[in-house]
Amino acid sequence: MEPARTTQTLTIAVAGNPNSGKTTLFNALTGLRHHVGNWPGVTVEKKEGRYRDPKSGREVLLVDLPGIYGLGAYAEDERVARDYIVGERPDALINVVDATNLERNLFLTVQLLELTPRVVLALNMWDEVEARGMKIRTDLLSERLGVLAVPTVATKKQGLDTLMEVALDVAARSVREPLRIDYGPEVEEALERLVPLLERASELAAKYPLRWLAVKYLEGDEYLAREVEDKLPREALAEVRAIRAHLRERLGEDPEVVIADRRYAFIERILCDVVERPQEAETLTFSDRLDRILTHRIWGIPIFLFLMFLVFEFTFALGKPLSDLLEEAFSWFGDVTGEYLTDLGVHDTVVSLVTNGIINGVGAVVVFFPPIFFMFLAIALLEDSGYMARAAYVMDRFMRAIGLHGKSFIPMLLGFGCNVPAILATRTLESRADRLTTILVNPFMSCTARLAVFVLLAGAFFPEHAGLVVFSLYLLGIVVAIAVAKFLRTFIFKGESAPFILELPPYRFPDVRSLLLHTWDRAKEFLRKAGTIIVAIVILIWALGNLPPGVEENSEESYIGQIGQAIAPVFAPAGFGTWEAGVALLAGVLAKESVNSAFSAVYGVDPAELGPALAEHFTPLAAYAFMVMTLLYIPCAATIAVIRQETQSWKWPLIALVYTTLIGYTLAVLVYQVGRLLGLA
């Protein structure tokens, strides 16, 4: 019996199925006092928050585990949840279940209980239970499972105080044994022989409840099987394998299936006594009727596209004016600060660093914020209303054809606005392969910043056909994205695609408060993380443009100019081998709009005279090749930063950096050389 832990901060984890109201409950408990991050080394979102116990005034740390259906190791998020419970040993575990659907929700519950007895059940959506005329005997349920069950309505904050009281009580108590389910004579016999063998590896015994580990091993859990094979002495290993093989033979089918069946049988037996459903005729619900229209074989897609168009409009129609306002505010602030510092007699270099470097750099991030906020608001609205699952359903066939998942469509579309929120939107994809592929091809979707460059160049060189030229570039981006997605799926991330199986939650009117919270969580994260990286890069570029001391900013003699000169020959085959073009492309790495401002800096003209100035340095064909390069090469710094943030490693952003540049360069050269052969130069 271990002593009750009261000295350090208590940690309580929250687990439950997707659509069980888990996140709503977590938000209701922590309010704004939580932050979103990532689990170390994976792309699964991690939320932590603080709850103050009103009675004792103690702070409790709440950890929101990913929404999962079970504790297998197939999905990354299930593994994350499992590792957390095993590794971190939270003081208590709140298991949120949808009380209207106990059969399925308890499937996770019993697996949690087999792992740890420190569990409290939150029977959520209790209002629904009552509305449907169901009767659930919580006392009996508690007794059978050996844990307390508290009815809650997270959306109305009902039952939460009681829930936390019980959870804190569980956290302070000493531990009993985990739940034991009777798996039937064959499996039980195998378990009885397995556990003593596993005990021989002291490392395993210290880390896992051994019966649970033995069950998992029989279930053929690859991840844990590997661990068992690593830690077990050789002679024991042979025996362990023999036990599993023998069991399979005796059962005549996969032990895994038998074990799952017995789990369900255990649940059914409990529920027979606990749940009483009113006999109702099977009718189509409101959601079903709505689905008849929204998932219709013909109307589903146009409706979806129309809604996406609305999201797009919403994001940029609302975001753009605010962005412009912020841009002006920053430029005004930069001017004022510059004047003020100059009046104080501060050295020019410092003034330039503060205004051109830092203020512009911070500005470059903050102007992204409004569209990002609205984008996330739109996405949260789609998610919380239940439509997102239908969107994935509708687009699945088309996306599957190009090697992506139905849910990949939304980030791809959002990429036309800005790749940064688009990449953040890939968080809705469960499978790592789907998610990484979607992230890596996203930068090919031409964003609004690139549009600024296209408008400038197309207007200067193809005034008659500017629209067509810009459209051709968008199309090129899509074609490249599809080709790269196909390639990645065929050679890099093969065979990991999640089979299409998706719960369609009932349609709901989203709750405004949780909608805003949801949105703010994601948007603020972007500000905090990408902001720091961007500012660093801005300062670097500024330094390169202003050194060695005494050079004119971004001139040929500055370091950036010298770098431009060094790389210019590389671009000769693409028709724009000038140092100015090199500098513009380098500046574009920071933010694609910077290509325009870099041109005006290096040609020393103001934006109004930029067109004619460009005409002296580019042929139309070279200009088109330059646009192809601008479209495809290195994603902007914010995108790189967000790829780094979302993949939790530098590996993928660096790979993206290399292959986008290669593809961009190859196609730009191809366009120029083929164009010359056709006599278009």
Q: Which residues bind another protein (CB under 8 A)?
A: 69-70, 72, 74, 100-101, 103-104, 107-108, 220, 254, 256-257, 260-261, 264, 282, 284, 287-288, 291-292, 295, 297, 300, 389, 393-394, 396-397, 499-506
Distance from C-alpha of 530 to C-alpha of 536, rounded to nearest angstrom: 10
Residue with tokens 């000169």: 565
> Cβ distance 675 to 681 under 8 Å?
yes
Is 101 annotated to bind a ligand? Reply is no
Is 159 annotated to bind a ligand? Reply is no
Is 448 annotated to bind a ligand? Reply is no
Is 44 annotated to bind a ligand? Reply is yes
Is 490 annotated to bind a ligand? Reply is no
> Cβ distance 614 to 502 under 8 Å?
no
CB of 220 to another protein, least distance (A): 7
Is 119 annotated to bind a ligand? Reply is no
Q: Decide whether 227 or 430 has the Cβ nearer to another protein.
A: 430
Is 419 annotated to bind a ligand? Reply is no
CB of 681 to another protein, least distance (A): 48
Q: Decide whether 94 or 129 has the Cβ nearer to another protein.
A: 129
Q: Decide whether 300 or 477 has the Cβ nearer to another protein.
A: 300
SS3 of 14, please?
strand
**Pairing of β 135-136 and β 275-276:** antiparallel
Is 65 annotated to bind a ligand? Reply is yes
User: Quick one: DSSP state of residue 28?
Assistant: H
Q: Decide whether 386 or 575 has the Cβ nearer to another protein.
A: 386
**C-alpha angle 310-311-316 in degrees, rounded to nearest 5:** 100
Q: Decide whether 499 or 549 has the Cβ nearer to another protein.
A: 499
Is 38 annotated to bind a ligand? Reply is no
Q: Decide whether 406 or 545 has the Cβ nearer to another protein.
A: 406
CB of 255 to another protein, least distance (A): 11
CB of 25 to another protein, least distance (A): 19
CB of 393 to another protein, least distance (A): 5
Q: Decide whether 17 or 323 has the Cβ nearer to another protein.
A: 17
Burial class (CB within 10 angstroms; exposed 0-12, middle 13-18, buried 19+) of 3: exposed
Q: Which of 330, 422, 409 is nearest to 375 (CA)?
A: 422
What are the residue ranges of helices labelled H in 32-94?
Answer: 76-88
Tell me the C-alpha to C-alpha distance, in Å, between residue 445 and each of 424, 609, 624.
14, 29, 18
CB of 97 to another protein, least distance (A): 13
SS3 of 621, please?
helix
Find out whether the peptide bond into 18 is cis, omega within 30 degrees of 0: no
Q: Decide whether 432 or 522 has the Cβ nearer to another protein.
A: 432
Distance from C-alpha of 618 to C-alpha of 662, rounded to nearest angstrom: 22
SS3 of 150, please?
strand
CB of 108 to another protein, least distance (A): 8
Is 31 annotated to bind a ligand? Reply is yes
Is 124 annotated to bind a ligand? Reply is yes
User: Quick one: DSSP state of residue 634?
Assistant: S
The alpha carbon dihedral of 497, 503, 505, 511 has a sign of negative
What is the gyration radius of the CA atoms in the chain, in angstroms? 29
> Cβ distance 3 to 174 under 8 Å?
yes
Distance from C-alpha of 440 to C-alpha of 491, rounded to nearest angstrom: 14
**CB atoms closer than 10 angstroms to residue 313:** 11
Tokens of 51: 């709850």
CB of 156 to another protein, least distance (A): 20
Q: Decide whether 68 or 663 has the Cβ nearer to another protein.
A: 68
CB of 275 to another protein, least distance (A): 11
Q: Decide whether 48 or 76 has the Cβ nearer to another protein.
A: 76
How would you classify residue 214: left for phi > 0, otherwise alpha for psi between -120 and 50, otherwise beta?
A: alpha
Residue with tokens 């299936």: 257
**Secondary structure (H, E, C), 545-583:** HHCCCCCCCCCCCCHHHHHHHHHHHHHHHHCCCCHHHHH
Is 19 annotated to bind a ligand? Reply is yes
CB of 408 to another protein, least distance (A): 15
Is 28 annotated to bind a ligand? Reply is yes
Question: Which residues does the annotation place in the binding site for GTP?
Answer: 16-23, 41-45, 64-67, 124-127, 153-155
Question: Which residues does the annotation place in the binding site?
Answer: 16-23, 27-28, 30-31, 41-45, 64-67, 124-127, 153-155
Question: Which residues does the annotation place in the binding site for Mg(2+)?
Answer: 27-28, 30-31
